[in-house]
Structure 1
Amino acid sequence: MTANNPKYSKWVACWGSATSITRRTEITYSKDLTLRYPVKICFKGSKLRFRFSNLTGTEDVTVTKAFCAKSGANEYKPLAITKDSSKSFTIPAGKEIESDELPIEVAAGDTVEISMYFAGFTQMNAGTALLTNLEKGYFAYGDWAESKELPDDLSMSTNIFYFLNTIDVFTEEKNHALICYGDSITCLSWPNFLSERAFKNGNGNVSIIRRAVCGTRILRQYDCITYQAYGLKGSKRFPIESKVAGASGIIIHHGINDIIHPVGVEVNKFRPWSDMPTVQDLIDGVKKIYVEPARKMGLKVWSATLLPIFGWRTYNEDREKVRKEFNEWLRTSKDFDGCIDFDKAVRDSKKCESFAADCDSGDHLHPSEKACQLMADEVPSCLIEF
């Protein structure tokens, strides 16, 4: 099968993340560093292309070299990832770039390893921390980008995906991407469980593309360095993160941070009460920032209800009232193609403002692994069975 095989007709994203400032401490630099990210390919195809992001970096980042190799193959054959035919390329500060097309035959279920080597001092300020044990990468001191194994004494695992933003596969017309857009809750395992469900129990032609940044809000963003890692507000994130090749739909699970963050300047100068939205503010924001642009892109749009917050440190009855009324709109609004009721799936049946006992991660805000599985199960089959 060749790259020009007529069975393959379009690009579809098969893996994706988002980009934010990665740390809330001092800016971190690395030198003589290899990053390696294993990614499961969900579609068969004849070539790959890669999006690299330095969206939140303030300095250009030079990738000395980058490679893609199939994991577990009898013979490890790293293929160079290039940009404008160059093996070394620069990701400008505040920008994203797309690689050249890489001819490589992949099958559904293959794992490819993307390795990047950075020889010079590199600002490590653009990436996303994933809060799941089901997806991780590795870093190693030294140049191991073309090596099959990373040395145990010089490498460690990491949950931060630096610079690698999206992988597209040139594949069959039947294949599609479904975007999961949100905050730290979407950085957890429910998109991974949904991906497994789509691969095993669906028709195998829908990828799950995670676009999630911890701490983000629909209506506001922090411009102070204290909370830089909480990311861009919806109007700045969405135009960038919604660009997903082959996407047919999007699940929007966003808004809880808008409700829980404001505490008043007497408590925290960066979190004034003026940031506290009304229900109508949230509704208007979702419609203008998410639904209307998504419709223009031809996407089906699914809402997802906000999870319980009883017991969270800023919980009060006023916040709970906003959450419940906003959820009711998400459930009933004709602006969406449907609603996924995550709240109902994980809440206590006798005390609806709380998680069920085994669905709380322990902080009364984030769901447990069991709850993440229930959330993935709650997604209608029509979204993963085209």
Structure 2
Amino acid sequence: MSMSTFTKWVAAWGNATSITDRTAAVYAKDITLRYPIRICFSGSKIRFRFSNLTGTEPVTITSAFVAKQVPQTANATTYTPAAITFDSKVSITMAPGTEVESDAIAFDITAGETIEVSMHFADFTQMNAGTLITGPLSNGKYSYGNFAKDRDLPADLTRNTNWFYFLNTVDVFTEEQNHALVCYGDSITAQDWPDYLALRAWDAGFRNVSVIRRAVSGTRILREYNCITYAAYGLKGATRFPIELNVAGASAVIIQHGINDIIHPVGVEVNKFRPWSDMPTAEDLISGIQEIYLTHARKLGLKVYSGTLLPIYGWRTYNENRDAIRNAFNQWLRTAADFDGCVDFDAAVRDSARPECFAPGFDSGDHLHPSAAAYKAMAEAVPEDLLK
């Protein structure tokens, strides 16, 4: 393919950046992070966004590299990492609350290839900016030591991780018809269905769309927590959305958000951080979607698709009032003229005989998060037109 056919930047992979789970260990030192990322577009250049959005201290990436993944059976010399630079420098310090974009790097990529993005942090580093995501395309590794340029990470110093730290977006300079579909939400979207959607698009022969995940477990539309116990539940919608919708080449966004607003409040006598005053009405959630999400998405010229909320029967805070709010909110999501369409995830996974419950085999076991089969059903529920 001629480079002259490449005309614009489009996000090929993306993740949200939130506050990581607050444990006793907050810092790392002399650590390598490596994330394999499947690229769905061909292109001639590549660039990266790194984020310290939720950090409270500067973070220095000592060095970072990108390389095409090669089979273990291949000669190690075929692994040729290219330095990721920032104003031609190999190292960058990100101030607290900021994101940085790398230089554009000449990098010929063919759709379907997997790249590996590796970062080394030499000094003590606050690991406060990252997000936990899962799915068949979402995995990473970390190693003690500097192995950012090596094809093989040492097995005795390396572990797998689903925490994606600092790496926020990968853009490819690609063809004009290519575009990005943003999947925005909470833990339901931080888990598997966006990956299954990306695989569905690829297997169906749709080569013009990337699936960009912007999701954080525990987040709410209307509120956020200010305590280390729930810090990883992240920023509220009004703060998150304008930042996370910074997606090159985006054409549309699917919003599946709001269940945590409904299920979290339990009263201060049970949990001091979850007062009953946090309980929204369906009207509160509707206003949040209209004023926070729709207003900004329309400014960006995006199509907006609503995503209905899934069944919660059996979840530890379930009651009929919460489910009534969910159902009223879902009815608006299905019928409101505000949207370009609705992805009815609820209908895709609920039990037809008992619609307050997941269908048999579709409950992960906690009565809130879907099973792998249900995540595949959610991916199938997305209209084909969004993938063309």
Per the alignment, residue 128 of structure 1 pairs with 131
* 2:165 is aligned with 1:166: no
Q: 1:65-103 deviations in whole A, cap 9, x for unaligned?
A: 000000117511100001111001111111100000011
Residues 128-137 or 340-349, more deviating:
128-137
Distance 2:151 2:250 in 1: 33
Distance 1:18 1:27 in 2: 22
Residues 329-338 or 69-78, more deviating:
69-78
| Pairing 1:264-283 to 2, within 5 Å after superposition | 264-283=267-286
Q: 1:297-347 deviations in whole A, cap 9, x for unaligned?
A: 000000010000000000000000000000000000000000011001100
| Pairing 1:113-124 to 2, within 5 Å after superposition | 113-124=116-127
Structure 2: which 5+ runs fail to align? none
Per the alignment, residue 213 of structure 1 pairs with 216
Give the 3 Å change call, closer, same or farther, for CA 219–99 of structure 1 in structure 2. same
* 2:224 is aligned with 1:232: no
Shift in Å, 1:60: 0.5
Q: 1:132-178 deviations in whole A, cap 9, x for unaligned?
A: 35410000011101101001111011000000000000000000000
| Pairing 1:136-285 to 2, within 5 Å after superposition | 136-285=139-288
* CA root-mean-square deviation: 1.1
Distance 2:348 2:276 in 1: 31
- Residue pair 2:136, 2:196 contacting (<8 A) in 1 also: no
Distance 1:62 1:188 in 2: 29
Per the alignment, residue 362 of structure 1 pairs with 365
TM-score by length of 1: 0.98
Matching residue within 42, 61, 77 for 1:63? 61
Shift in Å, 1:271: 0.5
Q: 1:238-264 deviations in whole A, cap 9, x for unaligned?
A: 010001000000000000000000001
Letter aligned with residue 135 of structure 2: T
Distance 1:118 1:195 in 2: 31
Shift in Å, 1:23: 1.2
Q: Secondary structure at the match of 1:211?
A: strand
Letter aligned with residue 141 of structure 1: Y
Sequence identity (%): 63
Distance 1:294 1:324 in 2: 24
Q: Secondary structure at the match of 2:326?
A: helix
TM-score by length of 2: 0.97
| Pairing 1:310-329 to 2, within 5 Å after superposition | 310-329=313-332
Shift in Å, 1:203: 2.4
Distance 2:191 2:244 in 1: 18
Distance 1:376 1:111 in 2: 22
- Residue pair 1:27, 1:125 contacting (<8 A) in 2 also: no
Matching residue within 94, 97, 100 for 1:94? 97
Shift in Å, 1:25: 2.0
Give the 3 Å change call, closer, same or farther, for CA 264–120 of structure 1 in structure 2. same
Shift in Å, 1:188: 1.1
Distance 2:8 2:316 in 1: 47
Distance 2:56 2:197 in 1: 35
- Residue pair 2:252, 2:304 contacting (<8 A) in 1 also: yes
Q: Secondary structure at the match of 1:226?
A: coil
